[in-house]
């Protein structure tokens, strides 16, 4: 039997006035204004929840049957019908209707077209409020898993490059001013740590999310003898939610996801900025592959790092998504309000954005070719071993650090005046400032000696970096 009017996008309700909604039309004499239908409908985006909606309905129907609330026969027909609905959605032939507002009513209405009477029993002991909370949690759980996998893949790319460049010396910066020599591998592993924390945030958000709202019904629970443990287990949740009012109005899980995503996005943005800087002619630390650069339509020499620039910029969208949802939720009284329908698009958009940014960043990292000679040339400018010189004065001459700092400062000024590096000053010049300096000091002034000396746990010494990379493999991959 068909309960829809095939000639239009609206629904003719068997029990309601013409034009009124079939699902609640009993109370209504007329249908909605066209603009009401448009502002109210979420089917344009929440169709993404189709698979989760059907999984939720199948778990619910199975539970209703086991509890004797639904007959075996009705349950069988509902399960088969829902499977068919999912096939129609997957194959792109499902007739989505704006008049049916959202994914929940689209699915239920199509089920009624397919199996008739039993479809009307599926909505026993539930509401769209617990339904949407459940569907959305299932979706966000998968998004968290996708985020984790994308971050893991990027970590793998970074660790591979870090191993290759465990001893490649580059300038380390503070204030973007040359500070001390570090290794390129050490620098890349810093991002492995950041993305590791992002993964741990995703894991924590997943664990917090994993309670099932289904069976909370509209807001107060239900008089039917349902078994919420059954549906929770069937959908892979750890347990049912403890409070029905909270369950239908909680969107913390979406905020948790977006907050974690925003932090990951700023990590990606910071790294993207470094890539942009590193591949300038002035730095020349890395060369991006042709696959991740673009040319200019007017300047033939250009190789622009567009992918990195876009990753840098797209953090704005993700932060905007988080901000938007925070503002939408603030001030909402218990329990469900339609404001909450605005929760989905920011999350969907963030999932797309991060997938793109993670894949592009991993691609850039895998393809990029470092230029160790350019990094070393840069490290030779800027007196990067000045701290090592001060430390030598402390360790070899027993000078107090403050005094050593002062002596070193004078030597740096001398070298600067002469347009030389510290290691290029001759011994007589050094002794002119501090007579006790011996030729042994040149040991401290080499870049390689400087990085090799930083063997403290978490430091930049190549042997440490190799060990840290091996450890990162264990921890993250």
Residues involved in catalysis = 175, 296
**Beta carbon of residue 329, minimum distance to ligand ARG (angstroms, whole number):** 12
Interaction pattern, residues 206-245, with ligand ARG; x per rule: CB under 6 A: ----------------------------------------
Rounded Cα–Cα distance for residues 415 and 242 (Å) = 70
> Footprint of ligand ARG on residues 299-358 (CB under 6 A)?
336, 338, 340-341
**Beta carbon of residue 49, minimum distance to ligand ARG (angstroms, whole number):** 8
Residue 182, beta-bridge partner list: 170
Size of interface with ligand ARG, in residues (CB under 6 A): 10
Do residues 357 and 149 lie in contact, with contact meaning Cβ atoms separated by under 8 Å?
no
- Rounded to 5 degrees, φ, ψ at 9 are -90, 0
> Footprint of ligand ARG on residues 404-443 (CB under 6 A)?
none
**Beta carbon of residue 343, minimum distance to ligand ARG (angstroms, whole number):** 7
Nearer to ligand ARG, 28 or 283 (CB): 28
Closest CA to 162 of 467, 475, 474: 467
With binding defined as CB under 6 A, does residue 250 bind ligand ARG?
no
With binding defined as CB under 6 A, does residue 48 bind ligand ARG?
no
Closest CA to 393 of 438, 452, 423: 438
With binding defined as CB under 6 A, does residue 21 bind ligand ARG?
no
Binder to ligand ARG among 54, 85, 99, 132 (CB under 6 A)?
A: 132
CA angle, corner 432, sides to 428 and 436, nearest 5? 85
Q: Is the peptide bond before 411 cis (omega within 30 degrees of 0)?
A: no
Q: Is 298 helix (H, G, I), strand (E, B) or coil?
A: coil
With binding defined as CB under 6 A, does residue 135 bind ligand ARG?
no
CA 136 to chain centre: 17
**Beta carbon of residue 342, minimum distance to ligand ARG (angstroms, whole number):** 8
Nearer to ligand ARG, 59 or 340 (CB): 340
With binding defined as CB under 6 A, does residue 53 bind ligand ARG?
no
Nearer to ligand ARG, 142 or 396 (CB): 142
The label of the residue with tokens 């000078």 reads 399
With binding defined as CB under 6 A, does residue 129 bind ligand ARG?
yes
**Helix, strand, coil percentages for the chain (3-state, nearest 5):** 65, 5, 30
Q: At what angle do helices 103-115 and 72-90 cross, to 10 degrees?
A: 120
Q: Interface with ligand ARG by CB under 6 A: which residues? A: 42, 46, 102, 128-129, 132, 336, 338, 340-341
């Amino acid at each position: 039997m068909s309960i829809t009017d095939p000639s239009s996008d609206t629904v003719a309700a068997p029990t309601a006035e013409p034009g009124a909604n079939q699902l609640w039309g009993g109370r209504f004499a007329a249908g909605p204004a066209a603009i009401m239908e448009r502002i109210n409908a979420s089917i344009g985006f929440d169709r993404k929840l189709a698979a989760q909606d059907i999984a939720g309905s199948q778990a619910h129907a199975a539970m209703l049957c086991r509890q004797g609330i639904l007959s075996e026969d009705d349950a069988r027909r509902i399960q088969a019908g829902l499977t068919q609905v999912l096939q129609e959605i997957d194959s792109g032939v499902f007739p989505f209707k704006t008049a049916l507002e959202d994914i929940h009513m689209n699915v239920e209405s199509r089920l009624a077209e397919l199996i008739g009477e039993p479809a009307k029993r599926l909505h026993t002991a539930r509401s769209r409020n617990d339904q949407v909370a459940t569907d959305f949690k299932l979706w966000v759980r998968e998004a968290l898993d996708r985020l984790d996998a994308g971050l893991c893949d990027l970590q793998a790319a970074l660790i591979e490059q870090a191993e290759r460049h465990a001893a490649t010396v580059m300038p380390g910066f503070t204030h973007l001013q040359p500070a001390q020599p570090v290794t390129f591998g050490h620098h890349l592993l810093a991002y492995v740590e950041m993305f590791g924390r992002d993964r741990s945030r995703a894991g924590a958000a997943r664990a917090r999310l994993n309670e099932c709202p289904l069976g909370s019904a509209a807001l107060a629970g239900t008089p039917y003898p349902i078994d919420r443990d059954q549906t929770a287990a069937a959908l892979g949740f750890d347990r049912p939610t403890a409070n029905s009012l909270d369950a239908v109005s909680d969107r913390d899980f979406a905020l948790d996801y977006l907050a974690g995503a925003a932090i990951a996005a700023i990590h990606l943005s910071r790294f993207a900025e470094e890539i942009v800087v590193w591949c300038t002619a002035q730095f020349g630390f890395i060369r991006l592959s042709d696959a991740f650069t673009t040319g200019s339509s007017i300047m033939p020499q250009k190789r622009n790092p567009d992918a990195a620039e876009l990753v840098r910029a797209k953090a704005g969208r993700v932060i905007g998504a988080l901000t938007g949802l925070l503002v939408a939720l603030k001030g909402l009284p218990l329990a469900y309000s339609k404001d909450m329908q605005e929760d989905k698009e920011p999350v969907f958009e963030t999932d797309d954005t991060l997938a793109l940014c993670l894949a592009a960043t991993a691609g850039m990292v895998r393809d990029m070719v470092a230029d160790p000679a350019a990094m070393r040339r840069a490290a030779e400018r800027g007196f990067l071993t000045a701290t090592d010189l001060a430390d030598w004065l402390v360790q070899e001459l027993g000078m107090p650090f403050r005094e050593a700092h002062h002596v070193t400062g004078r030597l740096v000024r001398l070298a600067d005046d002469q347009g030389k590096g510290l290691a290029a000053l001759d011994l007589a010049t050094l002794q002119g400032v501090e007579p006790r300096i011996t030729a042994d000091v040149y040991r401290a002034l080499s870049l390689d000696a400087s990085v090799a000396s930083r063997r403290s746990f978490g430091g930049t010494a190549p042997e440490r970096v190799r060990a840290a990379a091996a450890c990162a493999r264990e921890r993250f991959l």
